């Protein structure tokens, strides 16, 4: 199994609508590779995002094949 690239993971993260206001605009997106100490088991990428409309702070976890594992 291949892990999705950082660029592809960023595209997947930006394609998710904010659960609070349903907009796709993010003013800040920080993407990092998941480590063993993270609280989300099975995640390959962790994205921390700030919505550009409602300013909600969100976290998204992606599996190695690009599926969304966790989003809040």
Q: Look at residue 4 in the predicted model and tell me its pLDDT.
A: 94
Q: What are phi and psi of 12, to 5 degrees?
A: -65, -40
pLDDT in tens, 37-70: 888 888 999 999 999 999 999 999 999 999 999 9
Average pLDDT, the chain: 93
Q: Is the pLDDT of residue 17 over 90?
A: yes
Q: Look at residue 1 in the predicted model and tell me its pLDDT.
A: 61
% of the chain exceeding 70 in pLDDT: 99
pTM score: 0.88
Instruction: Name every residue whose Cβ is closer than 8 Å to that of residue 49 and which is 6 or more positions away in sequence.
Output: 13, 26, 28, 29, 30, 57, 58, 59, 60
Counting Cα atoms < 13 Å in the Cβ hemisphere of 50 gives 5
Radius of gyration over every alpha carbon of the chain, rounded to an integer in angstroms: 12
């Amino acid at each position: 199994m291949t892990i999705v690239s950082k660029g592809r993971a960023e595209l997947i993260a930006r394609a998710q609508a904010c659960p609070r206001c349903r907009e796709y605009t993010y003013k800040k997106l920080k993407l990092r590779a998941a480590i063993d100490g993270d609280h989300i088991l099975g995640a390959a990428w962790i994205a921390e995002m700030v919505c550009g409309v409602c300013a909600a702070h969100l976290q998204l976890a992606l599996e190695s094949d690009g599926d969304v594992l966790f989003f809040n």
